[in-house]
Structure 1
Amino acid sequence: MSDVDAARAFYGGVIGLGVEDSMGGLRLALPSGQGVFVYPKDEHEPASFTILNFVVPDIGAAVDDLNAAGVVTKIYDEPHSFGTDERGIAWGSRSGQGPDICWFRDPAGNVLSIIGA
């Protein structure tokens, strides 16, 4: 991450995680009770893979909430890219291809996802 304030606002305000300042970075409290430490890095380059997955009871409602907060959830547009719909949801349960999942990016450009329970 390159901007601690943007990360704090996103993970705390938009995603709804507990966020604490810690050693120049942030400690994120995950719903499981576990913690993740994120820290600033000069010349940060976003991960090219999903770094965090969040399980949600209703993926459609969660996507609507993210979109209402200004988060773009349609990040894969290529025809071969997971068969996402207009909101960015890949309905794996409908096709027998896995879970329902939707990807989005944090302010640093890292890919996150929500997965329907």
Structure 2
Amino acid sequence: MSTLKFNKVFNSFSVNDLEAAFNFYGNILQLNVSKLPMNVLRLNIPGNEHGMIIYEKDNHEPASYTVLNFDVDEVEKAVDELVTRGIVFEHYDSGPLKTDNKGICRGSGPVIAWFKDPAGNFLSILSEK
């Protein structure tokens, strides 16, 4: 029997500009972001008591997958609000992820819309309702 015990689990992702990330997540998305020692940010997000770590990486390459999903009640209203804050949504014109003119996919899964942070990482807003 193993004696290994995990005290907490959290995830992290990289960006190429920590100040741009701090502004984007704190001011544009209006999330609770803390600056921590060692030049990292803690993204304090609802439903995740330990938050996420965002760190600057010189040779950062944007994630080719979605690093954060934000569950909302109404995707269309959230898209409209985020567009007023300067967010540009991704558009896909074929396949199962085809989006409408607002960038919203209404396929067989959850209603979802993708956008990128300043470092090029994919984020989404979705509704599982």
On whether the aligned pair clears a TM of 0.5, the verdict is: yes
2:35 paired residue number: 21
Deviation string, structure 1 residues 21-71 (Cα, Å, up to 9, x no partner)? 012010000111430001000021000111110100111111011111111
Would the aligned equivalents of 1:17 and 1:31 in 2 still touch at CA under 8 Å?
no
Unaligned runs of 5+ in 1: none
Residue 100 (str. 1) matches residue 111 (str. 2): yes
Aligned residues: 112
Q: 4+ residue stretches of structure 1 with deviation over 4 A?
A: none
AA of the residue aligned to 2:111: D
- TM-score w.r.t. the length of structure 1 is 0.89
Which structure has the higher relative contact order (CA within 8 Å, separation 6+)? 1
- Greater share of helix residues, 1 or 2? 1
RMSD: 1.3
Residue 51 (str. 1) matches residue 67 (str. 2): yes
Identity %: 46
Unaligned runs of 5+ in 2: 1-14
